[in-house]
């Protein structure tokens, strides 16, 4: 198992510099399916921070001509949260050096890789399908394995094999059925039952809102399996707490679904996709001619409260043709010789 994980991580690091999309998918699968990242390969200790930095380096190299278009907007609330944590550190009864180390580690693991995924998708929307299939595959594995564990209360063969690789041990006494627990503490592929519970909650929301995007009702089937896992995890508690938590959870879930249905404004969306071909010719060498493609996405929103049009993509409107940065970008795509002059745009 240690060899498999080592090969997996080496492949992730190599793909960061040669195929960033495959790297993102493989690393996403690792983060979901493997409960730790602390492996020594040839004297090099690979942990989350180092792997995240290597992937960031590969991302910067891949999209070095687009770094001025990086998007931070959706991460602003999380950045504000971490800045607030930083401000509060001097007032805590805890060594400052330890606090800073924990803060740095949490920042790297919580924001850096999602930031890479989001901007890689913005620069190359073809990432959507492979990352979606990665999520669905990992969710399916975790859900099915979680159900399988109900047949062996307190035993988790996967964790019993994989935990010693990181120097940890599977606590079978903690996981074993006791105190009236029907199935023991179920953690699936995760290191702790509470982590699995959080994963189930997020998966239920994701599957509910994407259930119509899959053929053969796969989304609904997975949502049903997810709800079964949530039920069985509740039954792994003693009877009284399980009943109380189940009633409360169902009540809040019903209220939330009702609120969502009535409070989210209904609107119609019309999307258009357009490919635009550009041809660039060197005026001094007419045979030096090449073409490239731009993409333009237009979404028109219409409803009682919203009437907006959104445009995105790499499509270079004619107003930008006289811009030197535009010329440099296109030139780098098409030509390799060093001396050049832009005479005119057509």
Q: Round to the nearest angstrom and report the end-to-end CA distance of the chain.
A: 59
pLDDT of 99 above 90: no
Cα–Cα separations (whole angstroms), residue 345 to 70, 279, 342: 28, 9, 8
pLDDT of 346 above 80: no
Amino acid 325: pLDDT:
64
Amino acid 175: pLDDT:
59
Strands (E), the chain: 38-41, 44-47, 267-282, 285-303, 307-312
Region 12-26 average pLDDT? 91
Q: Give the pLDDT confidence of 189-243 residue by residue, as tens digits.
A: 888 788 888 888 888 888 888 877 777 788 888 888 888 888 877 655 555 554 5
Cα(235)–Cα(142) distance, rounded to whole angstroms?
Answer: 18
More confident call, 249 vs 281: 281
Amino acid 140: pLDDT:
92
pLDDT of 31 above 70: yes
Q: Which long-range contacts (CB under 8 A, 24 or more apart) does 338-345 make?
A: 340/282, 341/283, 341/284, 343/283, 344/283, 345/321
Residues, the chain = 346
Cα(204)–Cα(146) distance, rounded to whole angstroms?
Answer: 14
pTM greater than 0.95 (yes/no): no
Q: How many helices (H) and strands (E) does the chain have?
A: 13, 5
Q: Give the pLDDT confidence of 266-325 residue by residue, as tens digits.
A: 566 676 767 677 676 766 777 777 666 677 777 776 655 556 677 666 666 666 666 666
More confident call, 63 vs 173: 63
Cα(195)–Cα(279) distance, rounded to whole angstroms?
Answer: 53
Binning pLDDT at 50, 70 and 90, where does residue 58 land? Answer: very high
Which residues are CB-contacts of 239 (< 8 A; sequence separation ≥ 6)?
180
Binning pLDDT at 50, 70 and 90, where does residue 262 land? Answer: very low
DSSP state at residue 74: G
pLDDT of 256 above 70: no
CB atoms within 10 A of CB 219: 19
CB-based burial of residue 284 (10 Å sphere; 0-12 exposed, 13-18 middle, 19+ buried)? exposed
Share the mean pLDDT of the chain.
75
CB distance 267 to 211 below 8 Å: no
Cα(241)–Cα(50) distance, rounded to whole angstroms?
Answer: 42
More confident call, 256 vs 38: 38
pLDDT of 263 above 50: no
């Amino acid at each position: 198992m240690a060899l498999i994980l080592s090969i997996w991580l080496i492949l992730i690091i190599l793909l960061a510099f040669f195929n960033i999309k495959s790297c993102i998918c493989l690393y996403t699968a690792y983060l979901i399916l493997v409960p730790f990242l602390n492996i020594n390969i040839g004297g090099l200790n690979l942990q989350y921070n180092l792997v995240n930095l290597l992937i960031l380096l590969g991302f910067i190299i891949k999209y070095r001509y687009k770094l001025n278009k990086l998007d931070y907007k959706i991460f602003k609330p999380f950045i504000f949260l971490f800045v607030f944590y930083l401000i509060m550190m001097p007032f805590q009864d805890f060594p400052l050096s330890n606090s800073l180390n924990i803060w740095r580690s949490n920042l790297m693991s919580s924001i850096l890789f999602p930031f890479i995924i989001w901007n890689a998708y913005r620069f190359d929307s073809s990432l959507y399908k492979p990352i979606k299939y990665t999520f669905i595959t990992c969710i399916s594995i975790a859900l099915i394995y979680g159900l399988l564990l109900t047949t062996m209360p307190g035993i988790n063969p996967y964790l019993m094999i994989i935990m010693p690789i990181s120097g940890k041990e599977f606590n079978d006494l903690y996981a074993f059925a006791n105190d009236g627990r029907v199935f023991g503490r179920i953690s699936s592929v995760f290191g702790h039952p509470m982590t699995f519970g959080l994963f189930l909650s997020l998966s239920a929301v994701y599957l509910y809102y994407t259930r119509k995007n899959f053929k053969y009702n796969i989304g609904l089937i997975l949502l049903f399996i997810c709800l079964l896992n949530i039920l069985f995890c509740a039954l792994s508690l003693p009877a009284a707490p399980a009943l109380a938590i189940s009633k409360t959870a169902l009540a809040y879930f019903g209220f939330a679904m009702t609120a969502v249905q009535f409070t989210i404004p209904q609107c119609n969306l019309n999307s258009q996709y357009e490919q635009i071909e550009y041809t660039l010719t060197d005026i001094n060498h007419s045979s030096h001619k090449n073409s490239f493609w731009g993409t333009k996405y237009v979404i028109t929103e219409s409803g009682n409260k919203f009437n907006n049009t959104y445009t995105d993509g790499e499509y270079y409107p004619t107003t930008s043709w006289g811009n030197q940065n535009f010329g440099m970008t296109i030139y780098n795509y098409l030509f390799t010789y060093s001396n050049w002059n832009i005479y005119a745009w057509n």
